[in-house]
Amino acid sequence: MGAADVVPGVSGGTMALILGIYVRLINAIRSFDAKWLTAIFRLDAKTIFGRPDFVFLIPLLGGIGIALFFFTRVVSLPGLIESDPVPVYALFTGLITGSVCVLLYQVRDGLLKGFIFILLGAVGGYLVFNLVPVNTPETSWFVFLCGAIAITAMILPGLSGSFILLILKKYSYIFHAIGHLQFSILLPFVLGIICGLALFSRILGWLLRKYYKNTILFICGLLTGSLSVVWPFQQRNYQILNGKKQLLSVDPYIPSVFSQEIIVAVVLMVTGIMVVVWINYHSENGS
């Protein structure tokens, strides 16, 4: 999830869905509620440490944190995407396509009736991912807002928090701060993340409880819409901002000449689909 969150166009929520931990993730986030806060004031250690799913959250957050640091300082994943975009995005395309297929199979009984939700999700995802970046300030209140909006996208499959930051012109700004531990920037950003999680996880949890099938169909639409960004064959247009290269827009295309690059891309797409199907099969069979 941490590696996915570094990549514009790939959602950490999508990776959680692929790995079969998405519902548990939402429930774990929702456990930090008023009852938990009350337990803190009452010094009720049993509720403080027993109510949240720390057994799940601690290793998950540790893995995300290590991945964020590793892929911004040790191995620059955004840089790898710039140098070898076709194989990287081909794998992501396969993973997302596999996720859509698995989810649609799970709710196949109401597929035709809920097609409108797939369409709404696909249109919404496409519009979000094709927004043109705008100029934005670097003040603390706006960094806080970026954190709240980005985390909402990160936990919603199909929407990329990194791409939201790119749209808000804060991608390099935030990830540079993460890599160099600039706490004056990270503090308002983290506070925004906390507030965004507290609000959106409850909304999403309620939707999954009350309208599970339609919510899943909408998520499938978002994932489908995100394919316009992670499609491996694209003309990517960059701009230099404050001495750093940033993605400005993408123009997907279908290759007209058969090449080894196409073979590699197809193999990685199929591999991505098979990985998702394999993970889903073993998660359903408890192995």
Q: What is the pLDDT of residues 184-236, one digit of tens each?
A: 888 999 999 888 887 887 787 788 778 878 888 888 887 787 777 778 887 76
Instruction: Indicate the pLDDT class of residue 247, thresholds 50, 70 and 90.
Output: low
Give the domain ranges of the chain.
Answer: 2-284
**3 state DSSP class of 234:** strand
Query: What value does the mean pLDDT take over residues 245-273?
Result: 81
Angle among Cα 113, 115, 117 to the nearest 5 degrees reads: 110
pTM, rounded to two decimals: 0.64
Question: Which pair of tokens denotes residue 89?
Answer: 């995005």
Strand residues in the chain grouped as ranges (E): 234-241, 244-252
If you count them, how many residues does the chain have?
Answer: 287
Note the pLDDT of residue 144: 92
The residues near 225 (Cβ < 8 Å, ≥ 6 apart) are 121, 122, 123, 124, 125, 126, 127, 128, 129, 158
Measure the CA–CA gap between 191 and 199, rounded to whole angstroms. Answer: 13
Instruction: State pLDDT tens for residues 94-144.
Output: 877 887 887 788 777 767 777 888 888 888 777 766 665 556 777 888 889
Place of tokens 């991912």: 129
Does residue 270 register a pLDDT over 90? yes
Q: Which of 58-62, 79-83, 135-139 has the highest mean pLDDT?
A: 58-62
d(CA 67, CA 3): 5
Band the pLDDT of 64: cuts 50, 70, 90.
Answer: confident
